[in-house]
Amino acid sequence: MKSNVIISNIFSLFVVAIVIETAVSAFFSITAVKEHERKVLMKSMREAITFLAAFFFCFVVPEIRIFRESGIKITGMADTIISALLIARMSDIVRGLISKLKGE
C-alpha cells in the first residue's frame, strides 16, 4: 500500500468537494429555494444532490478515485462509491465550516 498516493488522492477529493459544495450552494442560494432551506426535506435533497454530483464526477473522471494507484485491489464501482461518499462527507464539512464563518 502506498500511503503517499492515498494522501494525495484524499487531497484531490477535498478540492473536488469544495467545488461541488460551491456549485450546490449556488443552486440553493436562489431566493425561491432559500426560504425552504431549513426544512428536513430540503436538507435531504441537498445531500442527495451532493452525493449524485460526487458520484457522477467520480464515475466520469476515474483519476480522482481514492484507491487509484494505491496498491489496494478494489473494484472500480466500489472505488467510485467510496470516493463519492467521501466527497459528500467532505462537502458537508466544508458547508459546516462556511456556515460557522458566516455566523449562522
Identity of the amino acid at 27 = F
- Return the closest-CA partner of residue 70 out of 79, 61, 78: 79
Of residues 1 and 2, more confidently modeled = 2
How many whole angstroms separate alpha carbon 79 and alpha carbon 40? 29
pLDDT in tens, 27-76: 777 655 666 666 777 788 888 888 999 999 889 988 888 887 777 788 88
Q: What is the reported pTM? A: 0.78
